[in-house]
Amino acid sequence: MTDYIEEPEEFYVAGKEIETYKDTEELRDKIKFYLRNDSARRDIATKGYEKAMKMPGWEERIQEMMDLILESSGLNGHV
pTM: 0.64
Residue 70 burial by Cβ neighbours in a 10 Å radius (0-12, 13-18, 19+): middle
Tens-place pLDDT, residues 35-72:
999 999 999 999 999 999 998 888 888 998 998 898 88
Exposure string for 26-54, b = 16+ CB within 10 A, e = fewer: ebeebeeebeeeeeebeebeeebeeeeee
- The number of C-alpha atoms within 13 Å of 73 and in the hemisphere containing its C-beta is 10
Tens-place pLDDT, residues 6-20:
766 778 898 899 999
